[in-house]
């Protein structure tokens, strides 16, 4: 799990997100909604420290998937355990948890027809697996069903291989077979009582596809200075493009089909700036990213003609968030067998459960046609007894490491974020 290290200071990037513009059925104001995720971001940035070698590796993760799973976990937490989770969720009470989740899920539903019309696939699903022998609290389950559209399934965790296979199959199905075999038999502790799972799948064609006949092998300079050759796609078109003088970086929104709602935002630092230096600057203050996104997303601005060269890439990352939350959020109680209070999850109100694992896996695949990405977050709860005309095009060549943010620009939710460095995970 060396990726955790890299995460240390990349994750922060994690965007500035979430100014929800058109939230339905919610008392939560736009400002409140964006605030919680913004604060989540800042939480990470406080802790980035040492220059890490591992940070040179490509990375992808899904803020949305992780956030949704942590809200479900919070539903079942009480006392100090719930209070500590505020460091992660930045929401103060369960009403806010529920409103956040419902607002998001309702927006996805409302958007469904558009999504289908443009051959976009966006699936987000929550599921609760409970051991047969566990006295699940009925109200906890009803709240998950009502506010998180979660479904319950009973399972026998004593049979480690069978239950791993079974959950893996659901995850695979929900993610269009992109994420397979997340859980191994050895991940299923015999004292597992609950597994809280979020699965997310996104697939969309570009608004304007790259012509695969134009794809050629091009040089790509790794941060180490070494030259490698990558299959690189080429396209000349008009895009929302922005050169950020202050941070010496070029930014572009590459839109997917459908009302310009989903975009892949890419950031390329100038030649003399290392990617991690840019990342660090962006993270210093969450306003920086949100200002850049706001100017990119502003539809009244005139698009720029860009000659775009972008490598095809596929990134797959696995992260263990228990370590991350402990180390950088100073959140400990939910993971402490003796102190955790998830009594709202069990009918006997017994303080028997604690979080033993938060497994997060994400994949992104970018090619001439579009993007497919998926993520899953599995939280294991154990019992303690166990962007006109003919101006010259701007040259934008992604021939060195860059950042990406797959975003819903209507509601400012980051679906996936990461970096491509040309170096894969070990």
Q: Of the candidates 116, 195, 118, which has an alpha carbon nearest to the alpha carbon of residue 151?
A: 195
In the numeric block, which tokens belong to residue 409?
Answer: 């620009």
- Angle (nearest 5°) at CA 79 between 78 and 84: 95
Task: Determine, following the binding rule CB under 6 A, whether residue 300 of this chain makes contact with ligand NAG.
Answer: yes
Q: Which is nearer to ligand NAG, 38 or 85 (CB)?
A: 38
Q: Return the SS3 of 144.
A: helix
Residues of span 185-214 touching ligand NAG by CB under 6 A:
205
Query: CB of residue 371 vs ligand NAG: minimum separation in angstroms?
Result: 14
Query: CB of residue 268 vs ligand NAG: minimum separation in angstroms?
Result: 17
Is 178 in contact with 372 (CB distance < 8 Å)? yes
Q: Which part of the chain contacts ligand NAG (CB under 6 A), choosing from 168-176, 344-352, 353-361, 379-387? A: 168-176
Query: CB of residue 314 vs ligand NAG: minimum separation in angstroms?
Result: 22
Task: Determine, following the binding rule CB under 6 A, whether residue 294 of this chain makes contact with ligand NAG.
Answer: yes
Task: Determine, following the binding rule CB under 6 A, whether residue 369 of this chain makes contact with ligand NAG.
Answer: no
Query: CB of residue 31 vs ligand NAG: minimum separation in angstroms?
Result: 15
Is 105 in contact with 198 (CB distance < 8 Å)? no
CA dihedral 36, 41, 45, 48 (to 10 degrees): 130
For 61-126, the DSSP string reads: E-HHHHHHHHHHHHHT--HHHHHHHHHHH---SHHHHHHHHHHHHHHHHHTHHHHHHTT-EEEEEE
The residue within the footprint of ligand NAG, chosen from 173, 285, 349, 424 (CB under 6 A), is 173
Residues of span 210-249 touching ligand NAG by CB under 6 A:
218-219, 227
200/202 Cα distance (integer angstroms): 7
Query: CB of residue 123 vs ligand NAG: minimum separation in angstroms?
Result: 7
Query: CB of residue 316 vs ligand NAG: minimum separation in angstroms?
Result: 22
The count of chain residues that interact with ligand NAG, using the rule CB under 6 A, is 14
Task: Determine, following the binding rule CB under 6 A, whether residue 22 of this chain makes contact with ligand NAG.
Answer: no
Query: CB of residue 169 vs ligand NAG: minimum separation in angstroms?
Result: 6
Is 380 in contact with 391 (CB distance < 8 Å)? no
Q: Return the SS3 of 201.
A: strand
Task: Determine, following the binding rule CB under 6 A, whether residue 80 of this chain makes contact with ligand NAG.
Answer: no
Q: Which is nearer to ligand NAG, 237 or 294 (CB)?
A: 294
The mark string for 115-154 relative to ligand NAG (x by CB under 6 A, - otherwise) is ---xx-----------------------------------
Q: Of the candidates 419, 359, 391, 372, which has an alpha carbon nearest to the alpha carbon of residue 197?
A: 359
Residues of span 254-283 touching ligand NAG by CB under 6 A:
257
Find where tokens 């604690």 sit: 354
The mark string for 33-72 relative to ligand NAG (x by CB under 6 A, - otherwise) is ----------------------------------------
Q: Which is nearer to ligand NAG, 119 or 395 (CB)?
A: 119
Q: Which part of the chain contacts ligand NAG (CB under 6 A), choosing from 40-48, 81-89, 236-244, 296-304? A: 296-304
Q: Is 277 exposed, middle or buried (0-12, 13-18, 19+ CB in 10 A)?
A: middle
The residue within the footprint of ligand NAG, chosen from 298, 330, 395, 424 (CB under 6 A), is 298
The residue within the footprint of ligand NAG, chosen from 22, 301, 395, 424 (CB under 6 A), is 301
Q: Is 122 exposed, middle or buried (0-12, 13-18, 19+ CB in 10 A)?
A: middle
Query: CB of residue 248 vs ligand NAG: minimum separation in angstroms?
Result: 22
- Kindly give the residue spans of alpha helices, DSSP state H, lying in 175-252: none
Q: Which is nearer to ligand NAG, 126 or 346 (CB)?
A: 126
Query: CB of residue 325 vs ligand NAG: minimum separation in angstroms?
Result: 30
For 3-35, the DSSP string reads: HHHHHHHHGGGS-S----SS--S-SS-HHHHHH
**b/e sequence 148-177, b meaning 16+ C-beta within 10 Å:** bbbeeeebebeebeebbebbbebbbebbee
**Residues within the interface to ligand NAG (CB under 6 A):** 118-119, 169-170, 173, 205, 218-219, 227, 257, 294, 298, 300-301
């Amino acid at each position: 799990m060396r990726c955790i290290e890299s995460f240390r200071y990349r994750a922060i990037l994690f965007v500035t997100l979430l100014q929800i513009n058109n939230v339905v059925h919610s008392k939560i104001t736009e400002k409140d909604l964006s605030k919680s995720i913004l604060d989540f971001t800042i939480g990470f940035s406080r802790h980035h420290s040492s220059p890490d070698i591992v940070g040179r590796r490509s990375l992808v993760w899904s803020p949305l998937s992780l956030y949704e799973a942590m809200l479900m976990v919070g539903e079942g937490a009480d006392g100090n355990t719930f209070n500590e989770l505020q460091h992660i969720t930045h929401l103060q009470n369960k009403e806010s948890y529920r409103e956040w989740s419902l607002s998001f899920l309702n927006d996805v539903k409302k958007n469904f027809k558009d999504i289908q019309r443009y051959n976009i696939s966006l699936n987000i699903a929550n599921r609760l697996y409970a051991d047969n022998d566990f006295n699940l609290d009925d109200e906890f389950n009803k709240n998950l069903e009502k506010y998180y559209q979660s479904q319950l399934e009973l399972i026998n965790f004593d049979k480690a291989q069978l239950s791993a296979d079974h959950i893996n199959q659901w995850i695979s199905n929900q993610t269009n077979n992109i994420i397979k075999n997340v859980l191994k038999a050895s991940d299923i502790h015999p004292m597992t009582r609950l597994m809280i799972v979020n699965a997310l799948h996104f697939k969309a064609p570009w608004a304007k596809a790259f012509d695969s006949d134009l794809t050629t092998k091009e040089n790509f300079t790794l941060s180490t200075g070494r030259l490698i050759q990558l299959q690189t796609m080429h396209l000349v078109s008009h895009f929302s493009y922005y050169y950020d003088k202050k941070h010496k970086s070029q930014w572009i929104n590459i839109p997917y089909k459908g009302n310009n709602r989903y975009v892949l935002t890419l950031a390329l630092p100038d030649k003399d700036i290392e990617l991690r230096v840019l990342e660090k600057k962006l993270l210093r203050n969450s306003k920086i990213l949100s200002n850049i996104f706001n100017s990119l997303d502003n539809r009244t601005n005139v698009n720029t003609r860009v000659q775009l060269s972008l490598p095809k890439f596929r990134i797959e990352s696995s992260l263990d968030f228990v370590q991350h939350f402990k180390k950088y959020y100073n959140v400990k109680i939910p993971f402490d067998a003796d102190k955790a209070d998830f009594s709202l999850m069990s009918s006997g109100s017994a303080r028997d459960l604690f979080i033993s694992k938060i497994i997060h896996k994400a994949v992104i695949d970018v090619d001439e046609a579009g993007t497919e990405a998926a993520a899953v977050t599995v939280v294991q709860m154990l019992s303690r007894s166990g962007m006109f005309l003919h101006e010259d095009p701007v040259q934008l060549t992604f021939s060195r490491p860059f950042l990406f943010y797959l975003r819903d620009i209507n509601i400012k939710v980051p679906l996936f974020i990461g970096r491509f460095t040309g170096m894969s995970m070990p």
